[in-house]
Amino acid sequence: MSQQPEMQPPGPPGGDVHRDLTGTPFPLGDWGEPAERLDELYRWVESNALRTAEWYLSDRVWKRRAARILRIGTAVGVIAGAALPLLDLTGVAEGIAGWGYLSLLLGAACMACDRYFGLTSGWIRDVATAQAVQRRLQALQFDWASESVREVLGPTEGTASEAAERCLGVLRRFSEDVTELVRAETADWMVEFRSGPAPLALQSVGVVPARPESPHPSGRFPLPPGTRPNMPRQRPPETR
C-alpha cells in the first residue's frame, strides 16, 4: 500500500451491468508483497461497489420511463374525465359524457398498474440505493487515502502486520455496508411485492414487527361490565 490506487479501475467497473448482482471471485494471490495485495483488494472492492451503483442506476431508467408514462396517462384520464361531462352538460359537445367516464377508468387503470408493478417506488429505491453506495464509496476512498498517507509518513504506532490488518478491516466493513444496503433494498422490494402498499416502518427496516404485548399480562379474559371479580376464599383464623 505504498501509493494510493486510482479512484476508478481501468475499463468498465463491472462488465455487463444488466446481469444480476452475483459478485465476482475473491482475488487470491501471494502475500509476500502485502502492499500490492492490499492495493489489489482495494481495486476489487471498489470495482464491485461501482458495478453495484451502476446496476441500480441502469435499472431505474426503464422504470422511470414507464412510471412517467403511466402518471401522464393518469393525469390525462382524470382531466378528460372531468372536462368531457362538463362540455356535454354545457352543450358545447353533446354525447361525450360517456367518453369522460371511460377516461376516468383509463386513468384509474394507469394508476393501478403503477402501484401494482411498483414502478415509481422501484426507481426511487434504485436511486436511493445507488446514492447510498456512492456516499459509502467516497468515505472508503478518504479512509484509504488516510491509511496511505499514514504509511508514507511512517507508522507512529503498531507494527506492519497491525497496519495491514487495519486496512483489511476497512475493506471488510465497507463490503459489509454495501451488502447491507443491497439487502435492505431487496427486503423493501419483497415487502412491497407481497403486501402491496405496506407500512413505512416495514419498508424502511424490512423486518416483521414484534408481536404486541397482551393488555392482560396474566392471560385471563376481561370480565364483563358490571361484575365484580371473585376473591379467593381464605381460611378463617384458627382459634387458640
pLDDT tens for each residue of 104-119:
999 999 999 998 888 9
What is d(CA 144, CA 171) in angstroms, rounded to the nearest whole number? 9
Please indicate whether residue 240 or residue 118 has the higher confidence score (pLDDT): 118
Please indicate whether residue 78 or residue 202 has the higher confidence score (pLDDT): 78
In single-letter form, the type of residue at position 100 comes to G
**CA-based diameter of the chain, in Å?**
107
pLDDT tens for each residue of 160-189:
778 888 889 999 999 999 999 999 999 988
pTM tops 0.75: no
- For the chain, what is the mean pLDDT? 76
